[in-house]
Amino acid sequence: MKNLSFYLIICTLFYYCKKNNKSETFQTSIKEDTISAPAGYHPKEESCKKAMKGFTRRYSVLLSDFYSPEKSLVFNTKDSVMIAKPFYTQVDAYGDCFPEEAYGSLLLVYNHSSHKTNGYKNALYDDEPNTFQEILLESKGFVISAERGNSSKIYAKVKVVYKGSDLYVDNIQLESWGMKQYKKKYAFKNLKLKNYSVKMIDSLQVVNDK
């Protein structure tokens, strides 16, 4: 059984590491990197269309007003990171703007040396009532902290560090307060942040709960 669980973990990580987590960008006519609203989001209410119309400069990109950025945090001396959530999750007045398909939050990371901003679309859970996420700072990187569930909780900490000019997931820590309680830590050597997905946490939880 242990061998089977180990095999499932390896298959899970291999599958999600091949997925690209990087947000799509396009070049505008003035040659600026732009992160647009999800192509599939088409609100019917005029108030929703008005709320998300336009772009705001965040770091070195133009970010669609579909996203509502939280406070920017500085790590690694001069680099910065922030979470940007869909606008309708931030204000009660936009309750009619919720789509049938959930759109997740973005993780935005600015590299001071290259003056480039990357948006990661699969690094965070969707903004749901039973989910709390935040960025915790470390001297050479940051941690994506997530807490999910009500009576049966799962805590996850994803440590992100620089290796050269690229961001990598150094390790994932899981702690379960559910029917089966445990603490696990998974270390990685070559898992780039652009290939990481929160679905890895879900799959690791399934394996450990068996």
| pLDDT value of residue 29 | 38
Task: Indicate if 148 and 72 belong to the same structural domain.
Answer: no
- Supply the range of the domain harboring residue 46: 22-121
| pLDDT value of residue 199 | 93
Bridge partners, 203 (sequence order)? none
| pLDDT value of residue 72 | 94
Task: Indicate if 150 and 185 belong to the same structural domain.
Answer: yes
Task: Indicate if 31 and 113 belong to the same structural domain.
Answer: yes
| pLDDT value of residue 9 | 54
- Ranking 19-33, 83-97, 153-167, 187-201 by mean pLDDT, the lowest is 19-33
- The mean pLDDT value for 85-113 works out to 85
Structural domain count of the chain? 2
- The mean pLDDT value for 1-29 works out to 50
- The answer on pLDDT for 25 being more than 80 is no
Quote the percentage of the chain above a pLDDT of 70: 84
**Average pLDDT for the chain:** 84
Give the chain's length. Answer: 210
Which band of pLDDT confidence, cut at 50, 70 and 90, is reported for residue 22?
low
- Choosing from 121, 136, 153, the residue where a domain stops is 121
Task: Indicate if 102 and 145 belong to the same structural domain.
Answer: no
What gap in Å lies between CA 105 and CA 165, rounded to an integer?
Answer: 24
Task: Indicate if 151 and 189 belong to the same structural domain.
Answer: yes
Task: Indicate if 115 and 27 belong to the same structural domain.
Answer: yes
| pLDDT value of residue 5 | 52
- Choosing from 97, 121, 145, the residue where a domain stops is 121
What gap in Å lies between CA 147 and CA 155, rounded to an integer?
Answer: 5
pLDDT higher at 179 or 202: 202
109-150 tens-digit pLDDT: 999 999 999 999 999 998 777 889 999 998 789 999 999 887
Task: Indicate if 90 and 162 belong to the same structural domain.
Answer: no
Task: Indicate if 5 and 30 belong to the same structural domain.
Answer: no
